[in-house]
Every structure is written in structure tokens, then in C-alpha cells.
Structure 1
Amino acid sequence: MKLSLQMQYVSAATEEISAGMEETVATTMEMNTTSTEIQKTIETIASKAKSLSHFGT
């Protein structure tokens, strides 16, 4: 196999890996955003539950 053809294969593989890494970063960012939203929701629910529990005392 010629060196130029091997370099083309390596270049194509590198581009695929790069695209996959970009997709992974985007997915990770989405997961972090979702996790933050879930945490805020849980904190709100806990706060409301705590304030409601004071009404019963």
C-alpha cells in the first residue's frame, strides 16, 4: 500500500475520531445541563416539602 493512501486512511480515521469527540462533548454538556436542572428541581421540591411540614406543626 502506498504511503499516500495510508495517510488518507489515517486522515479519514482522525476526522471520524474528531467528530465523535465533538459529539461526546456536546452530549456531556447536555447531560451537565440536565443534571443541573434536576438538582434545582429537587432542591425546590425539598424546600417546598420543608415549608409545608412547618404548617403541620
Structure 2
Amino acid sequence: MVEVTRQTITIAEAAKALGIGRNAGYEAAHRGEIPTIKIGKRILVPRAALDKMLRGEAA
């Protein structure tokens, strides 16, 4: 059986990883400061894009 690693995290998980509150995470995502994608009604943060952002690389 192949183990699949999630390629996206929730905004709440991203906020926790960044050391900010959940509401601050949603506000940052709304302002475009945290990279997001929308799948259906869910707003998710791609791990690769977040890592790239944290390394200071252009989107």
C-alpha cells in the first residue's frame, strides 16, 4: 500500500505553523499574504507554495 502525504493544509494549520492565530491566518490569506487555492468551498494552503514563501522566493 502506498502512503499518500497531504500536499495541502488548512489555513488554521498554516497559521499554527507560522505562529499566528487562526483569525490572523484567515485575514492574511484574504489579503494574499498566505498562498491559497480553492477546491469547492474549501480554501487550502499548498505546502510547496507556503515553503517557497517562507524561503523568500517569488511566487
* TM-score, length basis structure 1: 0.18
Q: Which has the higher helix share?
A: 1
* TM-score, length basis structure 2: 0.18
Q: Which has the higher strand share?
A: 2
Give the greater-gyration-radius structure (CA): 1
